């Protein structure tokens, strides 16, 4: 009734919701946005923040955790495994 009386959502709001839903589908095996993932590797603590559309590490944005894990270790490795997120898989 409220939508009929006051109108629906603006197109920009609908677009934003669609983008959030799409991003969530890509990363549904992850904790919510804003979560920090911390991993110690060879005595150095590495912190990654989950952000919309990817991950933030050392002030740079990356599309995958695996690319960050490879940067840290120098080897190809699953980002979810390296950061201990295997338990979030459905």
* pLDDT value for 2: 73
**What's the distance, CA 19 to chain centroid?**
13
Looking at the predicted structure, is the pLDDT value of residue 87 above 70? Answer: no
* pLDDT value for 3: 76
* pLDDT value for 16: 85
Q: pLDDT tens for residues 22-31?
A: 765 555 567 8
Looking at the predicted structure, is the pLDDT value of residue 48 above 70? Answer: yes
* pLDDT value for 37: 93
| Phi, psi angles (nearest 5°) of residue 41 | -140, 120
Per cent of the chain over pLDDT 70 is 87
**Integer Cα distance of 36 and 18 in angstroms:** 24
Give the domain range for residue 51: 2-88
Count of domains for the chain: 1
């Amino acid at each position: 009734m409220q939508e009929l009386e006051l109108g629906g959502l603006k197109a920009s709001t609908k677009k934003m919701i669609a983008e959030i839903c799409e991003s969530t589908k890509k990363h549904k095996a992850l904790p919510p946005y804003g979560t920090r993932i911390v991993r110690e590797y060879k005595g150095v603590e590495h912190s990654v923040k989950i952000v919309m559309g990817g991950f933030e590490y050392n002030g740079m944005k990356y599309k995958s955790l695996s690319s960050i894990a490879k940067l840290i270790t120098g080897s190809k490795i699953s980002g979810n495994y390296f950061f201990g997120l295997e338990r979030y898989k459905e």
